[in-house]
Amino acid sequence: MNKKVAFYTLGCKLNFSETSTIARSFSNEGFDRVDFSEKADIYVINTCSVTENADKRFKTIVKQAQKANDKAFIAAVGCYAQLKPQQLADVNGVDLVLGATEKFKITDYLNDLSKNDFGEVHSCEIEEADFYVGSYSIGDRTRAFLKVQDGCDYKCTYCTIPLARGISRSDTMANVLKNAREISSKNIKEIVLTGVNIGDYGKGEFGNKKHEHTFLDLVTELDKVEGIERLRISSIEPNLLKNETIDLVSKSRAFVPHFHVPLQSGHNEILKKMKRRYMRELYVDRVAKIKEVMPHACIGVDVIVGFPGETDDHFLETYNFLNELDISYLHVFTYSERDNTEAAEMEGVVPNNVRSKRSKMLRGLSVKKRRAFYESQLGTTRTVLFESENKEGYVHGFTENYVKVKTPWNPVLINTLHEVELTEIDDDGLVRFNFTKVLA
């Protein structure tokens, strides 16, 4: 009988792509992968450190693994494992904690899988995380997350990612294209490009700071890979989203008109305190450029509420700024203090109840923005890629510009592309449609 391994991933798309790569290394060692709720010999938890909530969830997930098999070997990897290895190792039941450079070599550390009396830690100084490990996720038949870049050289005052993932470094162009071809050969219709700061692509491609390729070069070459129906850029910094990239997407064969561009605050004073690399005027310019060449494009925005020093006036200016922008939805983050960051030492701490109230206001604005965007798309013809899950008798899908649609469940639709006409918004906020043409 083969040993069984189960995985739990917290956090971002990048973590999901890395979990997939780690899972493949287990398959190569003869392990069978099972669901995290099932009995396994080893449970691997890929951790996140972006929000306080992700830290707290770790203990709950360990208990979940112990409930499924109290004799199982439990390993923690990922960002929180790099930042606070001993804290994770001290959690009852945890046997192994691997930092940023060790996580991809996890199978080398497994020996006999017998439980340890205490959590064994293998972590590095983050300066040692200066090499690149490529990865992609193919757990879902419909889309894959393709990692093209890791680490970050920015010094945003609220962020621990540089401490958890190290300097900015990139995959080689040849390897990204090889991975993209591998993915397309598996009948996966959509690839989402992911990384910590993907607009910085090219830096560190050869293990040093020398640039041969840029993000524009990358998207230009990926657009030529045959067999990929859709390419989607995940999150990209406004100062790194160049006109040439926007123009390429507008004329592209495969790149879809959907951008996710972090803003974080609509007030320049707060942006300066955050050490962001742009002012709000640049953000306005980026949105205007996208809408000029792709009026139907979907634009998502990250925003942080409750940053130290954010007054009611600052917040209202952010709210009004976002309300007037031609954007489609918001990802709202409530600021939480992180150890070893500049922001944690700043004055003007915003009370938690105020943070919560501001977050609720922006989430309400996001619902309004998404509804208005969906309404603007009614009557248009779009292409939908259908998902694989049966959700209460419906199959869901996304148009190229990220409108979420639904139709009664039909397994034949899974992982297929259809041209549709968007007709109405249902009570749950999703869009109904009429089929017009089968594409693939």
- 68 touches 38 (CB < 8 A): yes
Mean pLDDT across the chain: 90
Report residue 125's pLDDT band, with 50, 70 and 90 as the boundaries: low
- Residue 319 has a pLDDT of 98
- Residue 164 has a pLDDT of 84
- Dmax of the chain from CA atoms? 64
Give dist(CA 145, CA 166) in Å, integer: 21
Task: Note the pLDDT tens digit of each residue in 141-164.
Answer: 688 989 999 889 999 999 988 888
Task: Note the pLDDT tens digit of each residue in 5-19.
Answer: 999 998 878 888 889
Give dist(CA 135, CA 183) in Å, integer: 11
CA of 206: how far to CAs of 211, 213, 318, 381, in Å?
A: 8, 10, 40, 44
Task: Note the pLDDT tens digit of each residue in 270-282.
Answer: 999 999 999 999 9
Which among 332, 395, 383, 394 is positioned nearest to 359, based on CA atoms? 332
> What sign does the CA torsion over 334, 339, 342, 346 have?
positive
Task: Find the mean pLDDT for residues 339-345.
Answer: 93
> What sign does the CA torsion over 258, 264, 268, 274 have?
negative
Task: Note the pLDDT tens digit of each residue in 234-270.
Answer: 899 999 999 999 999 999 999 999 999 999 999 999 9
Q: Write out the E strands in 107-201.
A: 120-122, 136-137, 143-147, 149-150, 169-170, 190-194
Q: What percent of the chain has pLDDT over 70?
A: 92
Give dist(CA 363, CA 329) in Å, integer: 9
Count CB-CB contacts under 10 A for residue 69.
17
Q: Is residue 204 predicted with pLDDT exceeding 60?
A: yes
- 394 touches 410 (CB < 8 A): no
Task: Find the mean pLDDT for residues 288-295.
Answer: 98
